[in-house]
């Protein structure tokens, strides 16, 4: 590797780190919104379970999903709003994209640790004393193993990267173009579904899915669309106009 290539790589890393520092300083409050949304969902579920014996009997709740939706939206809005400002400060598109993805991935890891710790606390307190398994969705996080941490974290990373991709698409194509792109995607998916039906392929697909555990899907297979969204987001953003 030539010294010029090393210098270019070092420059890209330093610029991406600068983008990360900028986003952490200017967007610290928005980055905390998913935790606020999660806290609100937890309090609501806590009140419902405290007042309802039927809810206590059921135990499980899908309230923890709120942080995943919030993570997707924050990543989407962050890219869409910060792109022009950051590139206007002489950051390259590549540095902006790498920095944005890195911030969202680190944020997802931090949120995963928070969920993992709350899961442990939930089990120690006997599900908060009222049978509320808020941080044990579908019984998938019943122990303090590394897999439990991955069950929380990998979907968070997917939501963040998907949000970055959507933010890049909405920034490049604008509102009207993004809507048209969404319609085109749904049409393509409909065409694929029609072709699968035509060749009688649904039995093979559902059979394969039935053989996969939900843990394997959440901690392994979900990485495939995550990588695709990450790569696709860069190809979309690289030609976006600030």
Q: d(Cα 136, Cα 219) in Å, to the nearest integer?
A: 15
Q: Where is pLDDT greater, at 12 or 6?
A: 12
- Say if residue 201's pLDDT is above 80: yes
The neighbour count for residue 87, using CB atoms within 10 Å, is 18
What token pair was written down for 8?
A: 């270019």
End-to-end CA distance of the chain: 33
* pLDDT above 70 coverage of the chain, percent: 92
pLDDT in tens, 153-187: 999 999 999 999 999 999 998 888 888 888 888 89
SS3 50: helix
Range scoring the smallest mean pLDDT among 19-23, 55-59, 87-91, 210-214: 55-59
- Say if residue 56's pLDDT is above 70: no
User: What b/e readout covers 40-71, taking b as 16+ CB neighbours within 10 angstroms?
Assistant: ebbeebbebbeeeeebeeeeebebbebbbebb
- Say if residue 26's pLDDT is above 60: yes
Q: d(Cα 31, Cα 165) in Å, to the nearest integer?
A: 17
What token pair was written down for 178?
A: 């993004």
Tell me the residue length of the chain.
242
């Amino acid at each position: 590797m030539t010294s010029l290539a090393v210098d270019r790589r070092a420059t890209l890393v330093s610029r991406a780190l600068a983008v990360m520092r900028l986003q952490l300083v200017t967007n610290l409050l928005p980055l905390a919104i998913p935790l606020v949304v999660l806290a609100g969902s937890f309090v609501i579920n806590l009140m419902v379970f405290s007042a309802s014996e039927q809810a206590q009997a059921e135990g499980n709740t899908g309230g923890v999903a709120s942080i995943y939706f919030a993570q997707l939206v924050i990543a989407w809005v962050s890219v869409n709003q910060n792109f022009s400002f950051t590139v206007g400060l002489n950051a390259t598109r590549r540095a902006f994209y790498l920095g944005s993805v890195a911030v969202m991935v680190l944020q997802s890891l931090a949120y995963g640790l928070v969920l993992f710790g709350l899961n442990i606390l939930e089990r120690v307190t006997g599900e908060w004393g009222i049978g509320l398994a808020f941080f044990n969705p579908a019984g998938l996080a019943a122990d303090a193993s590394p897999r439990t941490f991955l069950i929380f974290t990998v979907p968070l990373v997917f939501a963040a990267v998907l949000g970055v991709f959507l933010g890049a698409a909405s920034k490049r194509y604008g509102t009207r173009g993004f809507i048209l792109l969404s319609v085109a995607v749904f049409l393509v998916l409909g065409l694929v579904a029609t072709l699968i039906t035509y060749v009688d392929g649904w039995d093979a697909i559902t059979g394969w899915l039935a053989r996969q555990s939900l843990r394997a899907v959440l901690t392994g297979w979900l990485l495939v669309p995550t990588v695709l969204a990450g790569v696709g987001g860069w190809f979309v953003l690289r030609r976006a106009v600030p």
